[in-house]
Amino acid sequence: MHGMNTKATHVRKAGPAGRWEGVERLAYKRDGDAPFRDVTRQVLFDAVGGASQWRYFEVAPGGHTTLERHQHTHAVMVLRGRGRCLLGDRIYPLGPHDLVDVPAATWHQFRPEGDEPLGFLCLVAQDRDRPELPDPAALAGLRALPGVAAFLDS
Ligand code: MN
């Protein structure tokens, strides 16, 4: 493989779980109009030959990621905390090292449980479409599914 890829990437853990050397943590303030709440994002590096990007998200207790869907896909691994995710028409429990693959055009949202942040790695394509938020009819359809209204209101 020599000569193929001369750009090696090695990023060291820095301090507590969920921090890396030289990686800026982008914090989003709580905002009533924002579709997410209490989420930080770290862009780790471009991966898979530049086709994809590793990110790390942390959601504080009481927060949540955006309820959205899009054509691009996510591969997720939980690194810390516990929580649940909505994926399609079901709610799944989440804990450290659990893996989630979010298919195309599938509604998804991540929520922590307990008093520790929910932190997860997310691998995503560099070339990605803009997320779609649910309109009122789509939201009503989701809320009619078993357990989903309670999840969204938790
Ligand atoms: Mn997404």
In a domain, 145, yes or no: yes
pLDDT of res. 36: 86
Whether 69 has a pLDDT exceeding 50, the answer reads: yes
Are the beta carbons of 56 and 122 closer than 8 angstroms?
A: yes
Q: How far apart are CA 96 and CA 112, in angstroms?
A: 12
The CA 115 to ligand 1 mean position distance, Å, reads 24
Q: How far apart are CA 151 and CA 53, in angstroms?
A: 29
pLDDT of res. 3: 45
The CA 24 to ligand 1 mean position distance, Å, reads 21
In a domain, 147, yes or no: yes
Active site positions, annotated:
122
**CATH code of residue 60:** 2.60.120.10
pLDDT of res. 14: 93
The CA 15 to ligand 1 mean position distance, Å, reads 28
pLDDT of res. 82: 98
Residue-wise pLDDT for 3-38, tens only, equals 455 678 899 999 888 999 999 998 765 556 678 889
How many structural domains is the chain composed of? Answer: 1
In a domain, 2, yes or no: no
Whether 129 has a pLDDT exceeding 60, the answer reads: yes
In a domain, 23, yes or no: no
Mean model confidence pLDDT for the chain: 91
